[in-house]
């Protein structure tokens, strides 16, 4: 597996993986109509917008093999008073459980630490995503607050904030 910074050329693959991940993970939490008919175009529009204008506070790391993109991680540095936001982490199902997500988190955190050292890095995980919650707990994430997150098409669901010290995530082995 090869890890590198994402470019605008990666947008279609990032959006496709993002939408497919939501379709697998959030079936039952979000409407089927939204997941099947709206999410793919919405994710593509989101990622096109994010890459349309360079954002020095956004770090996107991808994992790829000889068949293409297999995972990605997006972090917004100094996002708010809570610290750096790990906004998205997705890995292709065929590669889950092989440490790729952990390596994406580590590499992204190390890149953040080069530009904005110190503080915390956090993510929001929907509470219906119990496999991800278990992974984040096993990686030393500590729970923060819970809030209801609102998505397109009226979808809303509780999410738990998981927090790490940036230096701890950057040192994952």
Per-residue pLDDT reduced to its tens digit, 3-17: 999 999 999 999 999
Per-residue pLDDT reduced to its tens digit, 70-82: 999 999 999 999 9
What is the arithmetic mean of pLDDT over 142-169?
91
Res 159: pLDDT: 96
The fold adopted by the segment(s) 2-170 is Aminopeptidase (3.40.630)
- Picking from 75, 103, 100, 94, the residue whose alpha carbon sits closest to that of residue 24 is 94
Judge contact between 64 and 47, C-beta under 8 A: no
What is the arithmetic mean of pLDDT over 108-121?
94
Residue 45: alpha-carbon gap to chain centroid: 16
pLDDT of 20 > 90? The answer is: yes
| Beta partners for residue 166, in sequence order | none
- Picking from 19, 23, 108, 10, the residue whose alpha carbon sits closest to that of residue 68 is 10
pLDDT of 120 > 90? The answer is: yes
Per-residue pLDDT reduced to its tens digit, 98-113: 999 999 999 999 999 9
Q: What does the CA dihedral 1, 91, 164, 53 come to, rounded to 10 degrees?
A: 90
Kindly report the pTM of this predicted structure. 0.94
Q: Which residues of 42-69 are buried (b: 16+ CB within 10 A; e: fewer)?
A: bbbebbeebbeeeeeebbbbbbbeeeeb
pLDDT of 30 > 90? The answer is: no
Lateral strand order in the sheet of 83-91: 2-5, 58-65, 68-80, 83-91, 120-126, 156-165, 142-150
Count other C-beta atoms under 10 Å from residue 100's C-beta: 20
Q: Where are the domains of the chain?
A: 2-170
């Amino acid at each position: 597996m090869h890890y590198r910074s994402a470019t605008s050329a990666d947008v279609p693959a990032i959006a496709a993986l993002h939408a497919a991940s939501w379709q697998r993970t959030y079936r039952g939490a979000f409407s089927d109509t939204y997941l099947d008919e709206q999410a793919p175009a919405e994710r593509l529009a989101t990622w096109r917008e994010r890459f349309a204008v360079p954002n020095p506070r956004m770090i996107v790391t991808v994992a790829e093999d000889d068949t293409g993109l297999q995972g990605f991680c997006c972090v917004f540095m100094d996002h708010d008073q809570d610290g750096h936001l790990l906004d998205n982490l997705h890995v292709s199902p065929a590669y889950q459980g092989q440490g790729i997500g952990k390596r994406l988190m580590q590499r992204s955190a190390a890149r953040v630490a080069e530009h904005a050292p110190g503080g915390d890095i956090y993510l929001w995980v929907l509470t219906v995503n119990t496999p991800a919650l278990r992974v984040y707990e096993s990686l030393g994430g500590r729970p923060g607050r819970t809030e209801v997150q609102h998505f397109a098409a009226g979808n809303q669901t509780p999410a738990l904030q998981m927090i790490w010290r940036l230096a701890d995530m950057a040192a994952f082995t």
